[in-house]
Amino acid sequence: MFETLPGFRDFPPEECSRRNHLFRVFRTVARAFDFKEYDAPVLEPLDLYIEKSGEEIVGQLFHFEDKGERRVALRPELTPTLARMVAARANSLPKPIKWFNVGEHFRYERPQKGRGRSFYQFNADLLGEDDVGADAELIALLVAIFETLGLGQKDFRIRLSDRLTWVCLLENLGVSESARPAVLDAIDKSERRKEEQTKEALEKAMPGKGTELAQEIERIKKIDSLEELSERMQNCEGKDNHLDRWKRMLDLLEAHGALPYVNIDLSIVRGLAYYTGFVYEAFEASGEGRALAGGGRYDHLLKKLSGNVDLPACGFAIGDMTLSDCLSAKGLIPQYVTAPDLYLIAGEKQMNLGIATAARARKAGFSTSYSLKTVGFGKQFKEAGKSGARYALILGEEEEQTEQVKIKDLRNSEEISVDLRSFLAKLEELDAQGGIE
């Protein structure tokens, strides 16, 4: 017997309904913020991902050579595809560009709780605007999605940092531009490493200064207020501009109603080198404290990937697996009832009339089911009860002769007869009044 591949999931109807609940919330909230949905192929040239992340990314991808001898890969993320699409249309697109996507992604890595080889992701990106208002808009969207899903301040926190602030602080500590990427990478990984490993990485980046640098970085990571940050940046060049950006960001988040969820946390740097401004990650506030989402500003990535289009940009992504686990643990994913609205019960000689009646009901928006083989009335009534339908439509010899249909409320067994020509209007009326009384 065949099974799903490691790291992949089946979605039978019940699980599909739970997954689609997330998708509906993603789409509804994103549209409320005037983001437009887009889609793209799941298969892209392998070089698109190598250009963004380097050759080391290849080992994490599902990739192969196609019959046209092209090196291709299943997408592990959407940002390179977004850059390709926007670059091809940059001159004709009105700015700012506010796009979102809900789609499947693939990474060839060891499956574990909350991480699969196939996963769905919500991506929201805002391009063509360099003001921090764009960053604040995205964080507000992230908060609104989580709030709509039922999560509150006790359930998640957004840890906010800034790569430009880190650049300034590291320059003040004597970290050269060439050493900066390795130092930022060590900071990013410090929460997942032992202290000695972080010191070793910093020593490798800045020979002879690893221990001293580690101590200073730990002090910076403890900063959690604008006042502390201001004091630490006293000798930094451009201090006022950096602090103004921070103040404006926090003021905007307060106006959005998102500030109660946000903490200043400079331990977040998001190790990817292309980030150029504010960065943030959303974490569970309790339980396992796992990451639920992450994003930031990546102003020069489009030019790197396209070669000729340079637009300021920022965005974030939410993975479905960890978020689903979090919501399930808190009982916040509703149990959807997948039942028809109507169940047709008809005599053998009335079945064609019944099917025509069911077709009318379906066109009017009522999901309708019936037995696909000829069975007696008793069996059909049992099937109607098992189906979970709200109403049964009953057509027998008497109903056919009088051109009527009997509507039975399967919750209380009350029933009425109505003209076949007007049964749809009657069903609408019954829905409005809550059933047959």
SS3 assignment, position 260: helix
Residue 87 shares a structural domain with residue 194? yes
Q: Which residues are CB-neighbours of 84 under 8 A, at least 6 positions away?
A: 44, 48, 305, 306
Q: Which residues are CB-neighbours of 326 under 8 A, at least 6 positions away?
A: 151, 155, 156, 284, 287, 290, 292
User: According to the model, what pLDDT value does residue 272 have?
Assistant: 64
SS3 assignment, position 203: helix
In a domain, 3, yes or no: no
Residue 252 shares a structural domain with residue 351? no
Number of domains in the chain: 2
User: According to the model, what pLDDT value does residue 217 have?
Assistant: 87
Which of 306, 330, 354 delimits the end of a domain? 330
In a domain, 207, yes or no: yes
Please count the CA atoms within 13 angstroms of the CA of 191 that sit on its side-chain side.
13
If 0-12 CB within 10 Å is exposed, 13-18 middle and 19+ buried, where does residue 48 land?
middle
The neighbour count for residue 172, using CB atoms within 10 Å, is 16
| Rounded Cα distance, 174 and 170, in Å | 6
Residue 112 shares a structural domain with residue 158? yes
User: According to the model, what pLDDT value does residue 337 have?
Assistant: 77
Q: State which amino acid sits at residue 164.
A: L
CATH number at residue 286: 3.30.930.10
Residue 383 shares a structural domain with residue 299? no
In a domain, 437, yes or no: no
| Rounded Cα distance, 304 and 420, in Å | 66
SS3 assignment, position 70: coil
CA neighbor of 102 nearest in space, from 39, 42, 144: 39
Residue 348 shares a structural domain with residue 408? yes
Residue 45 shares a structural domain with residue 157? yes
User: According to the model, what pLDDT value does residue 235 have?
Assistant: 80
One-character DSSP codes across 365-421: T--EEE-SS---HHHHHHHHHHHT-SEEEEE-HHHHHHTEEEEEETTT--EEEEEGG
- CA-based R_g, the chain, Å: 29
Residue 316 is inside which H or E element, if any? strand 313-319
Residue 364 shares a structural domain with residue 305? no
116: tokens are 């699969």
Q: State which amino acid sits at residue 37.
A: E
Residue 238 shares a structural domain with residue 375? no
Residue-level pLDDT, tens digit, the chain, 437 residues: 899 999 999 999 989 999 999 999 999 999 999 999 999 999 999 999 998 888 989 999 999 999 999 999 999 999 999 999 999 998 899 999 999 999 999 999 999 888 899 999 999 999 999 999 999 999 999 999 999 999 999 999 999 999 999 988 888 888 888 888 888 888 888 877 788 888 888 888 788 887 888 888 889 889 999 999 999 988 888 888 989 999 999 999 999 999 999 999 998 887 667 789 999 999 999 767 899 999 999 998 888 888 788 999 999 999 999 999 999 999 999 888 789 999 999 999 999 999 999 999 999 999 999 999 999 999 999 999 999 999 999 999 999 999 999 999 999 999 999 999 999 999 999 989 999 98
Q: Do 415 and 432 touch, CB atoms closer than 8 A?
A: no
Residue 407 shares a structural domain with residue 298? no
Residue 247 shares a structural domain with residue 373? no
Residue 298 shares a structural domain with residue 365? no
Which of 270, 295, 330 delimits the end of a domain? 330
CA neighbor of 137 nearest in space, from 11, 316, 270, 292: 316
Which of 310, 330, 350 delimits the end of a domain? 330
Cα three-residue angle 387-390-395, rounded to 5 degrees: 85
Q: Residue 53 belongs to what domain range?
A: 13-330
In a domain, 435, yes or no: no
What DSSP character marks residue 59? G
If 0-12 CB within 10 Å is exposed, 13-18 middle and 19+ buried, where does residue 306 land?
middle
Q: Do 164 and 75 touch, CB atoms closer than 8 A?
A: no
CA 45 to the chain's CA centroid: 24
In a domain, 8, yes or no: no
CATH number at residue 384: 3.40.50.800
